[in-house]
Structure 1
């Protein structure tokens, strides 16, 4: 059984937040630092959550695990794998030091996202250290419908601007009995048309990505269903099927190599290939498009908006300005209200998401 270091640093972290509050000095909340590139340029006194680790509770039969936020993501996944389970959202690591808290704060999911759910869908509850140095608990270890904001899930994708994650309760799922990859030689338009058609059929697809004239499909489930789907969809089975999905998730494919800016564009899955003069990778069955190159910000954002979606500069380029899609007035008001409620003095990762926050 994998061993996960047990270290509860709640009181020490609380003391650091209160000291920063007394000094009116902003804090740069940090886990493993593997997603430091994501979001706007930050600053402030470092608050290291990485040493706050350990399993608080794990009930495999209940499909729930609660861990401290500084727990290494790889260690948690190894523990789950030992019990035949997994995180359905397939989160990227981007480095060995990736933590569970960083996974939730970034809110990034892997190729399985359309079929396994987002990071926020896995979050059942959380203990959070707010900007006033208070420890708050949200949610629990079972799914509940509540009125108002689901504050534990609001932590997903907040980049540490609403609170310092101390503990997270996550829903887990069994690992599939079988998994196979098929590759079809088709252009992007044909791939999108086929994916739209297959999306209306009961196929065990858990990954669909198109790159350089090749549509990669991942099938997962019981042996019979996977074998039948593979025969029905056709294509070839590559030698390194599992490696492709890991390399896609961790952005190790040649497409991602280099210093050119990387854009992440979210659009309706059936959207035709974007009319942009830059290499593109289609992921999430068409719902996520990666665009690589020195394309002007406004050109990418307009193309995304015209398709009914939005764009964010994921990596590279100028991070001193806004990198995420601009918020409408009402939505910005909601964000500001949440920020004031949980971090009234603007102490935690100020400006990491938007300059106004």
Structure 2
């Protein structure tokens, strides 16, 4: 989340009446007048990521539709309630995509939810996250004002960089009604290589290969922390670059090149957490932990099987609630943090889902919320 430089200076912008979200504005203003908390609702596909949120539901799915798509300008503008599947299908018709691959944990997810969650798929380490593709946004703040931030070009705005701060805000700053997103062409070529290797050597190879001019787009290692595992490496780019990288990498380490259809299915399943690792917890008492650390961090938490993405920066593991202190201590020692991404089906022990933010970050978050929602109307989960 970007730090504030000054009080927000944006004024409510003129919006054509045909596209004015008056019903949403009226609902927010009524909630302000009655001091009734609101809970923003989209497709509900990511509700499991955080503890339940109180407040009257404000369903945004009716505020839907692609407003414009300029393929030559690499920009799409959509209402926030637009199904993510609709946007991806429209982009695919022009050979384009959302490079950060927002996870689709189920059918019905919206573009607004994809940005509000700030989650990204397998390519995050190489292409950036959701906030890197948000060019502009319209937002109804906690006073019931419709504000416009950013635009349809890559430029900063004065004051709060709200269009980027919305990514990962989980609805805490207001009702996003519209988003302009940068899109990119689908890569001309793609290949997936698989190597049998333990975690230590998988991380070592990723660090070494990551410092070389190779078209590495995504990685996934799965196995026992101290035993054998499989490293999947996805290459994307120009045809010549991908083919040359395949020859070079397979010459450096024994491995195989996967069939393209098999490989694509695997990356999709990883993106949407449909791999067996994600769908079959060791027991109902195990929760899924997301450990975010620097890419160069050494192997961690060897007691539990792991799936590692983002060239080492995102590590998933199943562990019971009573392991929370050990997991969070190890994450902090490595320079990162841990989040209980999926709570155990039984016996969560009251473990907080997210780490507490640092005092400095907490102060920034509090100032942002006070500036955009002074009456505390928008109920949202912990932001970190």
TM over 0.5: yes
Partner of residue 322 from structure 1, selected from 349, 352, 358: 352
Q: Are the equivalent residues in 2 in contact too, given 1:8–1:52 (CA < 8 A)?
A: no
- What's 2:244 paired with? 228
- What's 1:339 paired with? 369
Distance 1:107 1:173, change over 3 A: same
- What's 2:327 paired with? 300
Unaligned segments of structure 2, at least 5 residues: 1-17, 224-228
**Farther-moved stretch of structure 1 (114-123 vs 323-332):** 323-332
State the shift of 1:329 in Å. Answer: 1.8
Q: Secondary structure at the match of 2:256?
A: coil
Distance in 1 (alpha carbons) for counterparts of 2:147 and 2:217? 36
1:84-118 alpha-carbon deviations (Å, 9 max, x no partner) = 11111111011110000000000000000011111
Q: Secondary structure at the match of 1:263?
A: strand
Q: Secondary structure at the match of 2:89?
A: helix
Give TM-score scaled by structure 2 length. Answer: 0.87
For 1:73-222, list aligned pairs within 5 A: 73-212=84-223, 213-222=229-238
Distance in 2 (alpha carbons) for counterparts of 1:102 and 1:354? 14
Structure 2 residue 276 is the aligned partner of structure 1 residue 246: no
Distance in 2 (alpha carbons) for counterparts of 1:45 and 1:297? 32
Distance in 2 (alpha carbons) for counterparts of 1:298 and 1:9? 48
State the shift of 1:130 in Å. Answer: 1.0
**Farther-moved stretch of structure 1 (9-18 vs 187-196):** 9-18
Distance in 2 (alpha carbons) for counterparts of 1:38 and 1:278? 21
Unaligned segments of structure 1, at least 5 residues: 1-6
The 4+ residue runs of structure 1 with deviation greater than 2 A are 145-149, 317-322
Distance in 2 (alpha carbons) for counterparts of 1:59 and 1:231? 37
Distance in 1 (alpha carbons) for counterparts of 2:216 and 2:302? 28
1:279-336 alpha-carbon deviations (Å, 9 max, x no partner) = 2111001011011121522111100001111111111144966322211222211111
Distance in 2 (alpha carbons) for counterparts of 1:119 and 1:319? 32
Give TM-score scaled by structure 1 length. Answer: 0.94
Indicate the RMSD between aligned Cα atoms, in angstroms: 1.7
Distance 1:320 1:126, change over 3 A: farther
**May I ask how many residue pairs the two structures share in their alignment?**
348
Q: Secondary structure at the match of 2:257?
A: coil
Q: Secondary structure at the match of 2:200?
A: helix
State the shift of 1:354 in Å. Answer: 5.7
- What's 2:297 paired with? 271
